[in-house]
Amino acid sequence: MLKIGEGGFGTVYRGRVKPSTTNDEPVVVAIKKLNQHSLQGHKEWLAEVQFLSVVDHPNLVKLLGYAAENGERGIQRLLVYEFLPNRSLEHHLFQRMSPTLPWKKRVEISIGAAQGLAYLHGGLETQVIYRDFKSSNVLLDENFKPKLSDFGLAREGPSGDHTHVSTAVVGTHGYAAPEYVETGRLKSQCDVWSFGVVLYELLTGRRALDRNRPTGEQKLLQWVRQFPVDSSMFTMLIDPRLRNQYSLSSAREVAKLADRCLNKNAMNRPTMTEVVESLQKALVMSEEKTSSSSSSSQKQQSHGVLLSPRFVDQKHGMIGRQGKV
């Protein structure tokens, strides 16, 4: 097996599994091996198994199987997933050695991720709150289609007359909604906030929290405030790796949506279904050329430079409380 990832809860390997009922070739899979002292307890591990066994959506990672030494409470615990060869959205946004994601592809990825969250919030008999949406949990298949992964933190949403679920605060610093951090009251709108953070990561190419940057730039949501979406300063926040190859109107549409997702009043945030609709509008706009990219192209052509493209586009079990790799 080839080690492809590691985190606080264990290690992920790339391996092969031979189908038991056919003579087909072995299938490439991702195997999550939880370490013996993982913070993800048996309850949370079993919850992820049960959850992924009943959900079915093209934007959620597929669980192919699991194993535990000495029964389900054994020390050795494995989860076997479909293998997604293009790693995570986080990798493509922040690893400088990786090819830059074109703007249109970023919007397409955000649409798929939003559709996955919309399914969790409204496509099951029981609402599910993901609780840990972030760019590292958005995995990409061979066609860069996004799939949400790691459901150990997911929880069933409120039922009946209840407006929220009270729970211990878990998740990732920089992505969690402020009202959840302050009160422990969990609603689907908390996922919407996290989605807004990732939209700004897509726009800027910056991490939600980056201790390696100057003090005033470490927290993404604070830094972007100086570049309002309707101001002439807005383009200064756009990921410089895009080299002006994006639609300004599309970028503004995504930024406006991000601001709606990041509304301090949770009830004023859009639903994930509304988010999908707004992003589809931004995708149509992404075909447009910005005045800056057009003028840049004309300027380079006037100097006899041929521009070549750098990039190629291309139902609901028990929900656990915490755990992830």
The full DSSP string for 189-258 is HHHHHHHHHHHHHHHH---SB-TTS-GGGSBHHHHGGGS-TTSTTGGGGS-GGGTT-S-HHHHHHHHHHH
pTM here is: 0.84
pLDDT in tens, 85-104: 999 999 999 998 889 999 99
The catalytic residue among 56, 132, 141, 230 is: 132
For residues 64 and 183, membership in a common domain is answered with: no
For residues 105 and 172, membership in a common domain is answered with: yes
For residues 51 and 104, membership in a common domain is answered with: no
For residues 36 and 148, membership in a common domain is answered with: no
Burial class (CB in 10 A: 0-12, 13-18, 19+), 249: middle
For residues 25 and 119, membership in a common domain is answered with: no
Q: Is 150 annotated as a binding residue?
A: yes
Instruction: Find the length of the chain.
Output: 325
Number of domains in the chain: 2
So what's the pLDDT on residue 8?
58
Query: For residue 34, what is the domain's CATH number?
Result: 3.30.200.20
Does the residue 325 lie in any domain?
no
So what's the pLDDT on residue 90?
97
Q: Is 137 annotated as a binding residue?
A: yes
For residues 195 and 211, membership in a common domain is answered with: yes
**Which residue did the predictor score with more confidence, 312 or 193?**
193
Single residue among 50, 82, 114 that ends a domain in this structure: 82
pLDDT in tens, 95-134: 988 899 999 999 999 999 999 999 999 999 999 999 999 9
Does the residue 296 lie in any domain?
no
Please say if 132 is a catalytic residue: yes
pLDDT in tens, 212-259: 999 999 999 999 999 999 999 999 999 999 999 999 999 999 999 999
Q: Is 212 annotated as a binding residue?
A: no
For residues 145 and 210, membership in a common domain is answered with: yes
- Mean pLDDT for the chain overall: 84
For residues 190 and 107, membership in a common domain is answered with: yes
